[in-house]
Amino acid sequence: MKGLSLLCMLLCTLVDHGESALRKRDLGVRDGCQRLHLEILVSPLVKRGIVRRLEVQWEYAPNNPGDWIGLFRSDPLENTNGKGYLAPIEKIHVTRVHGWANTSIFEEHVEPENLGFHGRCLSYYAAYHDNLNQTLAVTCLRTEPTWMWNLREEIGSRRLRHVFIPGTHDSAAYGEYDENVGDTRIKKYSITQDESILAQLIYGARYIDLRVGYYGANNEPWWANHGVVRIHPLRVVLKDIREFLKNTNEIVILDVQEFPVGFVSQDVHLSLVNLLYSELGDLAAPPLGWDSTFDQVWKTNRRLIIGYDRREIVERSKFLWRPVQQKWGNVQTLNNLHSYLAGLIERPPLAMWSAMAELTPTALDIILDRLKGLRVMAESVNHNVTEWFRRKDWQPKSNIVTVDFIRNTGIIRAAIEWNKHQGHC
C-alpha cells in the first residue's frame, strides 16, 4: 500500500509495540455471458473470535419464487440420502438475480502442506436449485495450483501483459487470526491475507507483491514488511515460492515493489539482489520483457519472473525484470474505487500493470480506526470487485488484478475462465 510506511510511523507513535466432472457441469463458468454463476468465498471478518466464515455469491440467477442455494459437505450430484437428494447443511433463499449471503459455517484452516499440488475440491460444495428442486449449478471450494499449465494451449501464445492474472496485495503480510491475542491496531492495518505465500499460490494467485525491510544488526536481517512493520522473515517467503515452483509448471511473478526500512545505499539493494539470486536464481527466467509470451517463458525452463522496483539495479542484473506498474487509487470508499478502476479499464496502460483493487486508509483513518481495519475494508469491496472483473467489457482489458484477502473474492476463477474462453459463450 503506497504511503503505508508513513501511516505506520504515525500509528506507532500512538500504539505500543483439478478438472473434475464437477467443473464441466458447473453451468456458471463462462464469464460475462449472463449465465448462472455460483461461488463459495471465505470471509476475512472475525465472528465470535474466529474467521473463515463461508459466503456464497451468485450472478444471473433465474430468481424465481422458491429458488434456493444449498451448502453441502460433499458433492450433491454424487451423494444422496436415499430420497434423490442430499440434505444441505445450510439453505439460502434466493431473492435477487445477483447477490451474496453469509452462512453460519466456518471453514477449518488447512495447512498448505495438506492442500497438495493437484487442483481439487475441498470440503464444501454449493448448489443452486429451482423451485422444483432441480439442480441448475454446482460449485465447490477448491484449489487451483496448475491452472496456467492446464490452459497452456489457450494462453501459451499470448503475451504476458495480455493475460488476466490474479494477485495478492502485500502478499507476505499474512497471518492467521489468533482469538487469544486479538487484533492490535497495528495488526488491523498491516495484515492483508489469511494464507501463507505457498497457500496463496496453491489457491491460484500468480502475482506476489513483496516489500522488503533490511535490519542489518539483527541475526535475521531480511524481512518481508508491510510499511515499517516486520511481518515474516524473507527466507520463509522465498522458501514457499521455491516449493511451489518445484512442484508445478506454473509461471509466478515475484514483484519486489518497496524497500521501507534499511535501504540507505545501493549496496543494500545489491545485497538483496545477491540473496534473491542465491535462493531463487536457478528458477529465475531471463528478462525477456513483458511482451514475451507464456510459451517463451516456459521454453527457458525457468518460470519465476522477478521484478524489481529500481531501474538502476535492474539494468545491472542478468535476471531481474522491470517492475509491474501498480496502479493505485488511494481511495477510501467503494464508489471512488469503482471510479478509479473504471478509468483504468477505459484506458489501460500499455505496460505490464496491476489494478490495485483495494481501499487505502489515510493516516487519520488508522489513528481514529474509522475504517475498522483491513479485514472490514476488504469485506466491504471484495464482492463488488469480483463482479466488476467478471464483466465482459472489463476482462479483455485487465492484466493483473491484486486484492486483499484473495479467497474473499472470485478473482482467481474469473481469471481462469476468462483466459480459457476469452469471452466466448
Model pLDDT, residue 83: 56
| pLDDT above 80 for 243 | yes
Task: Read off the pLDDT band of 325 (50, 70, 90).
Answer: very high
Q: Are residues 133 and 151 in the same domain?
A: no
Instruction: Count up the domains in the chain and report the number.
Output: 2
Percent of the chain with pLDDT over 90: 83
Alpha carbon distances (Å) from 292 to 31, 288, 297:
26, 6, 7
* The pLDDT of residue 342 is above 50: yes
| 13 within domain boundaries | no
Same domain, residue pair 283 and 226: yes
The CATH number covering residue 132 comes to 2.60.40
Residue 10 lies in a domain: no
DSSP-derived letter for residue 44 is -
138 & 153 share domain: no
pLDDT in tens, 166-177: 999 999 999 988
3-state secondary structure 196-224: CHHHHHHHCCCEEEEEEEECCCCCCCEEE
pLDDT at 18: 32
Res 40 pLDDT > 80: yes
| Domain end among 107, 142, 177 | 142
Note the pLDDT of residue 24.
30
Decide which of 142, 168, 200 is a domain's last residue: 142
Do 130 and 247 have their domain in common? no
Return the C-alpha cell found at 424.
466466448
Residue 114 within a domain:
yes
pLDDT bin (cut points 50, 70, 90) of residue 122 is very high
Cα–Cα distance for residue pair 417/231, rounded to 1 Å: 33
Same domain, 228 and 253: yes
Q: Is this prediction's pTM over 0.85?
A: yes
53 φ, ψ (degrees, to nearest 5): -70, 135
- The whole domain housing 38 covers 21-142
Which pLDDT score is estimated for 15? 35
